[in-house]
Amino acid sequence: MTDDKTLERQATAAPTSAHAIELKGISKAFGPVQANKDISIRVMPGTIHGIIGENGAGKSTLMSILYGFYKADKGEIWINGSKKDIPDSQAAIAAGIGMVFQHFKLVENFTVLENIILGAEDGMMLRPSLAKARRTLVELAADYGLNVDPDALIQDIGVGMQQRVEILKALYRQADILILDEPTGVLTPAEADQLFRILGRLKSEGKTIILITHKLREIMEATDTVSVMRRGEMTATVKTSDTSPAELAELMVGRKVLLQVNKTPSTPGDVVLDVKNLKVIDDKGVERLRGIDLQVRAGEIVGIAGVAGNGQSELLEVLGGYEDGTGEVMLNGQPLDLTGRYSDGQSRRARGVAHVPEDRQREGLIMEYQAWENTAFGYHHDPAYRSGILMNNNAIREDTAEKMERFDVRPPNPKLAAKNFSGGNQQKIVLAREIERNPDLLLIGQPTRGVDIGAIEFIHQQIVALRDQGKAILLVSVELEEILALSDRIAVMFDGRIMGERLPDQTDEKELGLLMAGITDTDAPHDVAEVEANLAHVSGDPHKEV
Amino acid sequence: MDYLTLIQLLDSTVRLATPLLLACLAGLFSERAGIFDIGLEGKMLAAAFFSAAVASITGDVWIGLLAGIAASLVLSALHGIASITFRGNQLISGVAINFLAAGMTVLIAQSWFKQGGRTPSLVGGARFEGITLPGAEAIADVPIVGPLYAELISGHSILVYMALAAVPLTWWLLYRTRFGLRLRAVGENPASVDTAGISVVGLRYAAVAICGVLCGIAGAYLSTALQAGFVKDMSAGRGFIALAALIFAKWRPWYALWATLLFGLFGALETRPDVIEAVIGMKVQGQLMGALPYIMTVVILAGFVGKAIPPRAGGEPYVKER
Amino acid sequence: MDVMPKWAEVVLVPLISLLLAAIISALVILAIGEDPVAAVKLMVAGALGSTYGWGYTLYYATNFMFTGLAVAIAFHARLFNIGGEGQAMLGGLGVAFACLYIPWPHWTLALLGAALMAGLFGAIWAAIPAWLQVKRGSHIVITTIMFNFIAAALLNYMLVNIMRPKGQMDPASAKFPDATHLPTLHELLAPLGIEFSKAAPANVSFLVAIAACFGLWLLIWRTRLGYEIRAYGHSESAAKYAGISPFKITMITMIISGALAGLMATNNVMGEAERLVLNSTEGAGFIGIAVALMGRSHPVGVFIAAILFGFLYQGGAELALWTSIPRELIVVIQALVILFTGALDNMVRMPLERVFLAIRRSRRAGATD
């Protein structure tokens, strides 16, 4: 048992000094779902404490309770040695706690300054508050290297900048404890490094920082102590220097994890998908794809790496038929319509293009529909599902039951609504629907987002198996590890362009990271400022893909 | 068309625009806070009845005004409970409120006054009379300026001047105060307000309450100033025209003034077909003139006259994300 | 897991909402100095106590079935069609054209032709707001409200200036020819030996309404189109992914919705008045909203809710006749039903969910002990 071993080594603090944070026996349920079960945690002042766990392990819920965003059903919160009642965020702020949420809580059409004073104004009138905030901002920028343009609108600045505004919001409220929830999800590796430098500086000024993440590397690099969460429970708290990534991974999932995907080298055949000069302009007139050239051959997996919001979603959408584009796209040598009547999901499916979308809850599934209805989704015009002018619901249900068995969907009940399955099983329903259609080309976005580790392995195996049948696969993922593990060839996207292609065994995370920041000259030395300058003009949409 | 006709036309434009302006500003507060309100119509109607009824009973129009505001506030509270507390569908709540007002006003009117769903005619202190501004009579005979001042600017009821004053006041409140900042934020991204430790529910209720007060004044104006007493369904779609004006105004106070004045002008023209005939040289069907505000609204909504972006969180109940 | 069992969702929630609406209506009656128990007795006697009463109840119910179905189908696509009133007015215009200007040999053909015209006119009146929403981004709720006002003005113009026979004072069309007379329930049931009131207006279009309920049920739950409509209603983004065109679904749904509202005219214009008069719809388009909400947008629910509102309408008319309670009481009840079954749905649902959750917990605890 791993639990016993780690409990022995639990990080014990010197009893004389007060803990910055101490949570005792926190429990929280959302309806029938128990998100946190009897969780206790202690954090020393002036340290960086990591909380790691899979998606849905209850990390964010726990921290939202600390921030007063949710109310715990049970348990106590102690801050700096005294018990605090935190019924709302106002109380948390008063207790010196600040939080940077995964989805930023900014008003898009307000300026940076307005966002910073919102809720922390000094009086009835705005002007004096704004003037004071402007002065404070100059000081904070000098102290921590957090430069922002106070008069810029949030909608006009990049994701990295927006995150900075969130940190400044907390500091402006004189937070001593700063919680960051998955802060690097929308950042390039270089931006993430910059963030960790800022966090280091905050720590040296005596701030206590809690870092929520599911990335082992960040925990190892940035934290002093780390707590591991699994299915709503705290499985261990250890000193970071006393542990290893492998041990943490095991604690996260409850068993040893295979990070490698077993696959043979690919044997690419004919070109299945040939994209030339593909462009997409969104509703606001912003060019999201700025001329993509890309080929995917039969029997290979091409992975698209990139920070979320650099055009990967648009690429999948236009290939999937529900975003208009210009340029030339050939499928098996025949052109695909990019606008008009024959540019929709139905026409694509008829041409042998299957699509597992990035966001299964918003796109891939109708959450209120039952599993069998979802299995027909997009293929509901299939003659096999028809009897006369009506739908043959029985045929669909039978087909669904078979698919559920082959893909090990649990529970294997075709009449259960999609919303009642776990993330992994929802994804399996989508995968079964798309893969079992025997497509020539599979478009697949974020295949394992929000999926438990057990299902990840299964899903990866299915993708590789489809490749081995000689199908072409275009994979989009923001998880660099996943891209490296699955792809036979990697293309890196930045700001609507492909910055370069690499073979997975001839590259590494560092090189891909530079490409993801838009720097193609990957051999020359680079400093952070250059990366930042490069990223500053890109206004990504952090909410689009996360 | 001579100068005096023009002055008369503009004068009646102002009179007809006033309830639209008040209702439009009412909707502005509510929708800026993220609560859609198609119940403006019902609130106006309820206020129109209760202010006329109470004014007729007490003989004091000011008490009537307060009663009208109170009635409108009750319906606002209902809208708040449905759409803020219980996170119901704001459009459906608005529809219900409109019918509730339409039915209850007649029911109560019949029970209280037994005059077929109307109140007795208001006279004297039970009505808002026009106010003659200082010097209006003195310069009435001066050419150009005289009639302009005496006929157009002077001589309206106090509620007209209150409505006009509400425009800069709304602007100031919205863009220069802490309350305004928070109000706008809650309509754009309520999570930003919630995580800042401010009550989303409190702010939204405040906005809905202000909406109720303004609708109350608008309704009182209908039955105690524009006309002398309540008749069944007297709001006659004004709440919906105000809503259209709000969209036309892109949810901004000064634009709201211009939009409602324009719609007021349509209303004024409806009663003066001779003026239209004189200006455009042909006769216009009465029914067409009557339908013009609605047709205009459709045209405006369709964005043929500039695109309007509503508050981003509008119409959606706030639920903390998980 | 869903917190509530299906029967609670389908039966208990609407029932409690209805009960709340009834209690408050009773309080309103009390407040205006009347006796609610006596009022209910009077309503039941007036609406259900005779075939005459039933004839009126079913006549009104027929109207509400059409408008209720119109709102319900739109709800499935998450569209809120408040324009049923205007669409029904236009349907009336269509019926009048069909009956007045085409010489029909028999009522069956006349009904078919009139229904086609009514559906067509209603559909057009709904299709324009639908088109404006998809192509121009104008909100369908506001546009359909405006179209109600415009329809009223149009009807007024047509009746006053064009369709009114020379020498006639009231704004109405000429009487329809005898060949377009629809058989009433009295005429239909007499051959079966059933005595039904001669004076009541319920007619063969009641059967058409029932057929429409069944047809819509088939459409929503058994056809690909219905599947697509519901999918679009649940998630527009998912519908786009699957290749379901928002434009197509919005247009088709609103066309069906408008046609259903328009079809109401076969009942009130062709079956009852037998000529087109001003305000022939009498607010039935709006009652459709209450009917659809109460019936949970399901054709069976709509059928039941329509009968209930038919009863309220006829009972309300009796009340207005015999007591000092004005007909507007029905508008209040309608408002309360919309409020409780629509806007305040969560107020009923949330405590119920808590009850069911507690039951489940205690059961589970009992099972593990």
The residues near A505 (Cβ < 8 Å, ≥ 6 apart) are none
Over 70: is that where the pLDDT of A522 sits? no
Contacts of A390 in chain C (CB under 8 A): 218, 222-223
Chains that touch A (3 or more CB pairs under 8 A): B, C
Confidence band for A7, pLDDT divided at 50, 70 and 90: very low
Confidence band for C16, pLDDT divided at 50, 70 and 90: very high
The reply to whether residue B181 touches residue A127, judged by beta carbons under 8 angstroms, is no
Contacts of A103 in chain B (CB under 8 A): 191, 321
The residues near A113 (Cβ < 8 Å, ≥ 6 apart) are A130, A133, A134, A137, A150, A151
Q: Can you tell me the distance from the alpha carbon of C154 to that of C126, in angstroms, rounded to the nearest whole number?
A: 15
Q: Which residue type, as a one-letter code, is found at position C318?
A: E
Residue C19 three-state SS? helix
Give the closest-approach CA distance of C1 to chain A in angstroms: 5
Give the model's pLDDT for residue A258: 53
Q: Pick from A324, A339, A344 the residue to mutate for testing the C interface (most C CBs within 10 Å).
A: A344
Nearest chain B residue (CA) to A30: B322
Lowest mean pLDDT across A526-535, C17-26, C324-333 = A526-535
- pLDDT, one tens digit per residue, over C157-184 is 999 989 999 888 889 999 999 999 999 9
The reply to whether residue A357 touches residue C2, judged by beta carbons under 8 angstroms, is no
The two tokens of residue C257 are 């919705």
pTM score, whole prediction: 0.88
CA dist list (Å): B47 to A258, B40, B109, C33? 70, 11, 13, 23
The reply to whether residue C241 touches residue A364, judged by beta carbons under 8 angstroms, is yes
Q: How many CB atoms lie within 10 A of CB B289?
A: 18
- pLDDT, one tens digit per residue, over A42-58 is 999 999 999 988 777 88
Phi, psi angle pair for A66, to nearest 5°:
-60, -35
Q: Pick from A90, A107, A117, A179 the residue to mutate for testing the B interface (most B CBs within 10 Å).
A: A107
Confidence band for B300, pLDDT divided at 50, 70 and 90: confident
Give the model's pLDDT for residue C266: 97
Chains that touch B (3 or more CB pairs under 8 A): A, C
The reply to whether residue A119 touches residue B196, judged by beta carbons under 8 angstroms, is yes
Over 90: is that where the pLDDT of B163 sits? yes
The torsion region of residue C236 among left (phi > 0), alpha (psi -120 to 50) and beta comes to: alpha
* ipTM value: 0.93
Give the model's pLDDT for residue B81: 96
Over 70: is that where the pLDDT of A16 sits? no
Q: What is the mean pLDDT of residues A456-469?
A: 92
Give the closest-approach CA distance of C179 to chain B in angstroms: 33
The CA dihedral of A432, A434, A440, A446, to the nearest 10 degrees, is: -100
Give the closest-approach CA distance of C164 to chain B in angstroms: 16
Confidence band for B37, pLDDT divided at 50, 70 and 90: very high
Counting Cβ atoms within 10 Å, is residue B294 exposed (0-12), middle (13-18) or buried (19+)?
A: buried
The two tokens of residue B8 are 């008369």
Contacts of C146 in chain B (CB under 8 A): 240, 244, 294-295, 297-298, 301
* Nearest CA among C279, C265, C282, C278 for reference residue C168: C278
The reply to whether residue B182 touches residue A92, judged by beta carbons under 8 angstroms, is no
The reply to whether residue B107 touches residue C32, judged by beta carbons under 8 angstroms, is yes
- pLDDT, one tens digit per residue, over B43-69 is 999 999 999 999 999 999 999 999 999
Q: What is the mean pLDDT of residues C246-268?
A: 97
The reply to whether residue C357 touches residue A357, judged by beta carbons under 8 angstroms, is no
Give the model's pLDDT for residue C366: 66
| C352 at interface of B, judged by CB pairs closer than 8 A | no
Give the model's pLDDT for residue A528: 54
Report yes or no: A92 and B198 within 8 Å, Cβ to Cβ.
Answer: no
Give the model's pLDDT for residue C368: 52
* CB nearest to B177's CB, from A99, A117, A126: A126
* Nearest CA among C364, C311, C330, C326 for reference residue C43: C311
- pLDDT, one tens digit per residue, over A82-123 is 999 999 999 999 999 999 998 899 999 999 999 999 999 999
Report yes or no: B36 and B90 within 8 Å, Cβ to Cβ.
Answer: yes
Give the model's pLDDT for residue A523: 66
- Per the prediction, chain A carries an average pLDDT of 87
